[in-house]
Amino acid sequence: MPDFIQPWLFLLPIIIKVVVVFAVVMGLVAYASLAERKVSAFIQDRVGPNRVGLPLTLLGFKKDLAIGGLFQPLADGLKFLLKEDLTPGHVKPFYYWLAPALTVVPALLTIAAVPFGSTLFGYKMVVADINVGFLFVFAIASVGVYGIVMAGWSSNSKYSFLGGVRSSAQMISYELSMGLSLVPLLLVMGELNLGKIVEYQAWHGWTLLPFTDLRIQWSPHWEISGLNWREILLWIPMLISFVIFTTAVFAETNRAPFDLPESETELVGGYHTEYSSMKFACFFMGEYAAMITGCALITTLFLGGWHLPIPIIHDGAFSLQTRTGDHGTLWGILNILTFLGKVIFLVIFFMFVRWTLPRFRYDQLMRLGWVWFFEIALANIVLVAVLLAFFPK
Partner 1 sequence: MAITVPRPDLSAAEKTYLPALWEGLKVTARHFKNNLFGKGKVTMEYPEERWDSHLPEYYRGVPALVTDEHGKDRCVSCQLCEFICPPRAITITPGEIPPGDTFAKTEKRPQEFKIDMIRCIYCGMCEEVCPEQAIFLQKDYLVVGTRREDMVHDKQKLYEIGGLKTGLVNKWDEKK
Residues in contact with partner 1 by the rule CB under 8 A = 39, 41-47, 50, 243, 352-353, 355-357
Between 318 and 349, name the residue whose CB sits nearer to partner 1: 349
CB of 38 to partner 1, least distance (A): 9
Give dist(CA 70, CA 316) in Å, integer: 49
Give dist(CA 19, CA 111) in Å, integer: 12
CB of 68 to partner 1, least distance (A): 11
Between 18 and 208, name the residue whose CB sits nearer to partner 1: 208
Give dist(CA 300, CA 306) in Å, integer: 8
Between 50 and 277, name the residue whose CB sits nearer to partner 1: 50
CB of 39 to partner 1, least distance (A): 7
Q: Coil, helix or strand for 28?
A: helix
DSSP state of 53: S
Q: What is the dihedral of CA 198, 204, 205, 208, to 10 degrees?
A: -70
CB of 378 to partner 1, least distance (A): 18
CB of 44 to partner 1, least distance (A): 7
Give dist(CA 117, CA 125) in Å, integer: 5
Give dist(CA 292, CA 243) in Å, integer: 18
Residue 58 C-beta-side C-alpha neighbours within 13 Å: 4
Between 138 and 355, name the residue whose CB sits nearer to partner 1: 355
Between 326 and 375, name the residue whose CB sits nearer to partner 1: 375
| Contact criterion met (CB below 8 Å) for 258 and 251 | yes
Between 228 and 364, name the residue whose CB sits nearer to partner 1: 364
CB of 351 to partner 1, least distance (A): 9
Q: How many C-beta atoms lie closer than 10 Å to residue 393's C-beta? A: 6
